[in-house]
Amino acid sequence: MNQPVDLTERTLSRKDLYEGLLCRVHVDEVLLPNGHTSQREVVDHVDGVAVLPLDERNNVLTVTQYRYVFGKLLLEIPAGKLDEGEDPVTGALRELEEETGAVPDSLLPLGVILPAPGCYGEKLHLFLARGLRMEEQSPDPDEFLQVERIPFPEMVHRCLNGEIEDAKTVAAVLKAKVQLNL
C-alpha cells in the first residue's frame, strides 16, 4: 500500500482584487507539496441552494431564464443564494416559493455540491421537494423566469444527452433518479 501523501497547499500571501455583492476575488501565492510556489485565482461566492420540485405526477417544476454570462437561456431547477447566516432549508423553501410559487409538504436533502472547486468557493445545497401546493410566484425585481412542468424521465434524458448543461440541475436530477429509483 502507498503511504498517504500530504497534498495540502499552504497560503503564503493574498492579494484582494475585487469585492462585490455576491463575491470577492483574490489571488493567493501558495506553497505546493513539492516546495515550489504557484498562484491560485479564487472567487469566494456566497453559498446557495437548489430545489428539484416534483409534483404528484412526477413532473419537475423548472425555470428558464437568460444567463448573461453565457448569453443564452438555460433550463434549470429553482435556485438562489443564501442570506448571511440563513439555514439552507429556509433558503430552499424561500427560493422555491419565490421562483415557482410552490410550497412543499416535504423537503429531502440531496447533499452538497461544489460547482467549480478549481477556483470558485461556493457550496450548493441540493433538495428534493414533494407534495407541492401552488401559491403566488414572487421573483426578485431583477429576475425574469418562465416556469414549466417537465416529466421527470424527460429531465433525466435531457441531462444525459447534454441538453441541460446547468450543473446543479444535472446533479439534482441524477441524484433523485438514483435515490427514488424513478
**Polymer length of the chain:** 182
pLDDT value of position 33: 95
Average pLDDT over residues 59-76: 96
**176 within 8 A of 110, measured Cβ to Cβ:** yes
Average pLDDT over residues 4-31: 95
Average pLDDT over residues 87-99: 97
pLDDT for 136 beyond 90: no
Which cell is 15 given?
Answer: 492579494
Buried b (16+ CB within 10 A) or exposed e, 63-96: beeeeeeeeeebbbbbbbbbeeeeebeebbbbbb
pLDDT at 159 over 80: yes
What pLDDT, on the 0 to 100 scale, is given for residue 141? 86
Express as a percent the part of the chain with pLDDT over 90: 89
Task: State percent of the chain over pLDDT 70.
Answer: 99
pLDDT digits (tens, 9 = 90+) for 166-175: 999 999 999 9
Q: What is the mean pLDDT of the chain?
A: 95
- The mean-pLDDT minimum among 96-100, 157-161, 177-181 falls in 177-181
Mean pLDDT score, 36-59: 97
Q: How confident is the model at residue 162 (pLDDT cuts 50, 70, 90)?
A: very high
Q: Is residue 64 pLDDT above 90, yes or no?
A: yes
